[in-house]
Structure 1
């Protein structure tokens, strides 16, 4: 994977005064963790916004500061409510020799499950992310779920069915359902909440 580098500078401006920095095209941020004290920094707003748009919470980035490189993960982002522009970013510095925990997105594969083609099944996703632990350099950006084993209505994939990733420990319950192939009518009832017994109204119930 290509190394993702963000060039940073130390930041002296704090509090409400950072609004003026943003108008100058600078993005306030902090980096903390491992052996680093919490350090206020600034990034180029345009470059950082473009790069971070494609970065998830499990993507390793490199912060260049004072001629040194710091491996880090994005831990929190603040956005403008209306424009969705980045306002602030928190980075957690990590050691490449110490394991970290992260949440990784589960993405359904591009190919339709055989049950969809054969029976018109609907694929219901039960889990959208996994909690994992591994060395930072082994963190997957996302996990793609292969749907080819869903051949019949009722077939499902659980966490324990996912391929083993070298160096990665999955922390979630292995019996957690990731996806299931269900009949379209059943899925519709689940979505509308109409799967229960119909209410019977007798003569005594009339106004």
Structure 2
């Protein structure tokens, strides 16, 4: 069963940019809750509560218990606005969740044991994480906080697709219902080819070595004599 994460908030009546600005100056984050056939509700949350929660993956990918004045409702973070360069959350949008209706949400991928894999130990092989999260569909009670992908057996040239992910029970990836073209690569272990400059440098070094061998053969195995300096 998924963990529960509670966020405490307070209801507010004032709306508009001016009211939101005053809330931010008082260290609150203005927010709105909507959905599930109910009227939108304006709320405010202590800024540090949001700042600390936003440091965790679960805040953006889990069903949250939003406690507004003692009344708890199940919600998802649907949108947020951050200050361009300050550690400041400007606004939050929460979507109410019906526990009997499936939700679609992006869940983080956790990659395990990559450093132990043959691919990671092979020179010239680059392991690429083409996705860091995947969209799933399930009932709220089945929503995982993350999906693990064990890369311990990853070898040179391997490609891991969406269909190869091990999903929890009752969780699906909707993209796979659209056909094989949507079964995209999650992880690839690619051999990196030498650049044209590297190839040219290797060829020049090889040619120089061959020329030195040929010169040594002509001189009976001795290094070629240096030309005498011109006498004046």
* TM-score in terms of structure 1 length: 0.82
- The match for 2:111 is 108
Residues 3-18 of structure 1 aligned to structure 2 (within 5 Å): 3-17=4-18, 18=20
Match of 1:182 among 177, 185, 190: 190
The Cα RMSD (Å) is 2.0
Name the residue aligned to 1:133.
137
CA distance in 2, matches of 1:67, 1:33: 19
Runs of 4+ in 1 over 6 A off after TM superposition: none
In structure 2, how many angstroms separate the alpha carbons of the residues matched to 1:62 and 1:171?
26
Q: Deviation string for 1:99-130 (max 9, x for gaps)?
A: 11111222322432222214442102223321
| Mapped contact 1:130–1:172 kept (Cα < 8 A) | no
Counterpart-to-counterpart distance in 1, 2:59 and 2:191:
33
Gaps of 5+ in 2: 197-232
Report the Cα distance in structure 2 between the residues aligned to 1:4 and 1:87, rounded to whole angstroms.
21
3-state DSSP class of the match of 1:166?
coil
Describe the SS at the equivalent of 1:169: coil
Contact 1:72 1:94 in 2 (8 A): yes
- SS of equivalent residue, structure 2 residue 23: helix
1:56 is displaced (CA, Å) by 4.2
- SS of the equivalent of 2:24 reads helix
For the pair shown, the structure with the greater C-alpha radius of gyration is 2
Equivalent pair of 1:127/1:176 in contact (CA under 8 Å): no
Aligned counterpart, 2:24: 22
Would you tell me which structure has more helix in proportion to its own residues?
2
Distance 1:171 1:94, change over 3 A: same
After superposition, give the CA deviation of every residue in 1:35-77 in whole Å (9 maximum; x if it has no partner).
Answer: 3211110111112221232134321111112432101110111
Match of 2:100 among 97, 100, 115: 97
Contact 2:113 2:152 (8 Å CA) reproduced: no
Q: Does 1:78 align with 2:81?
A: yes
Aligned to 1:158: 161
Mapped partners of 1:35, 1:131: distance in 2? 24
CA contact (8 A) 2:114 2:120 kept: no
Q: Distance in 1 between matches of 2:107 and 2:79?
A: 15
Work out whether 1:52 is the aligned partner of 2:54. yes
Structure 1 gap ranges (5+): 190-207
Aligned residues: 187
